[in-house]
Homo-oligomer: A and B are copies of this chain.
């Protein structure tokens, strides 16, 4: 693995590195960790990379790595830069034969997203988007239960993703993570929408297996002087006739990382919350409520495979994140060894395209005073 972005001091770079190596299937061999050459190289050194593989920028890295022997060079790039710096390195990596892991939202525009999807398809390379919350065992249990028709036809969705860290104008106080997120040149047309709303969108589609077809959105810009949304409320319609709401916010004061979803079918319903990820609450027409736990009694195979330690020993954010990398690595190893694979269980470039379309549909709806906008 070669990393683009995520230098020292980056929260998310460290998360990606810890997640990638947790299952001992992936090794970091090189990186272009920063937009400033000096910091990029220093980051590489602190990570104990070989000096010649601490690159000053991603172009240099991709070209240089290509020259290494196949068993020496990086197999894929992991792109953990701010949003506006996803497309260029992803495209160049694909064009030069490297597989890609990319942070979300995948690109700033739908055109860019679709170009990456086409490139992925035409090259046959792998492309993962790190919608990490789908890596939780109980999310996989939820998905398997829906797929297995245990809940019956899905009728109603409620999802919220609430944070409070932008409640005040921290972007004006030197807070780097905040600064780029409120800047449309770096974030794109969505603020909190792109940063966390897309996770909520992906979680819905992952669990239900259903596409969102229409959104009616009302975005808020509560922070003084903000031009991008820091809050949003959305009505949802899904392809099978189900309806729902999404609410996301980065000004929900006091909330930490409250991503929660409820899914109601004709026969049963389920509830999952990221801050307490190791239980899945289900409710039923004619049975009392049943709570599932990772590695607990009676789970679907997908949930069991996603858990590393016995029941009652909590796994968290990093372990779920690592499941994205693990499943990507399983697929990559199969590909490198020309083996088939039963299933692909990580978010792909197609999920990335959905996320970018979602952002644009929501913004368009908000611009039209919350009129319904199709999301195809």
Q: Which A positions have Cβ atoms within 8 angstroms of B?
A: 11, 14-15, 17-18, 21-22, 24, 47-48, 155-156, 158, 160, 162-165, 167-168, 216, 218, 220, 222, 231, 233-237, 243-245, 247, 249, 251-258, 262, 264-269, 274-278, 282-293, 296-298, 308-319, 369-372
Contacts and interface: CB of A to CB of B under 8 A. Distances in A.
B286 A297 contact: yes
A319 B370 CA distance: 41
B283 A255 contact: yes
Contacts of A257: 310-313
Given A218-B243, A275-B312, A287-B298, 15 more contacts: A21-B21, A155-B231, A158-B160, A162-B262, A164-B269, A218-B235, A220-B243, A244-B247, A249-B264, A254-B282, A256-B310, A284-B297, A288-B290, A315-B316, A370-B371
B222 A155 contact: yes
27 contacts: A11-B309, A11-B310, A21-B21, A155-B220, A156-B251, A156-B252, A233-B245, A235-B235, A245-B245, A249-B264, A254-B283, A254-B284, A256-B296, A256-B310, A256-B313, A274-B314, A275-B278, A276-B276, A278-B316, A287-B297, A288-B290, A288-B291, A290-B291, A309-B317, A314-B316, A318-B319, A370-B371
Contacts of A298: 286-288
Given A168-B285, A255-B312, A293-B256, A237 B222 contact: no
A11 B309 CA distance: 7
A293 B256 CA distance: 9
Contacts of A275: 278, 312, 314
A291 B286 CA distance: 13
Contacts of A293: 256, 288-289
A22 B11 contact: no
A288 B145 CA distance: 14
Contacts of A314: 274-277, 314, 316-317
A168 B264 CA distance: 13
A114 to B, nearest CB: 29
Give the interface centre of A155, A292, A316 by most chain B CB atoms within 10 Å: A316
Nearest to A23: B18
Given A254-B289, A288-B290, A167 B316 contact: no
Give the interface centre of A156, A252, A276 by most chain B CB atoms within 10 Å. A156
A47 B23 CA distance: 11
A255 B282 CA distance: 10
A371 B282 CA distance: 34
Contact of A253 (B47, B285, B310, B313): B285
A297 to B, nearest CB: 5
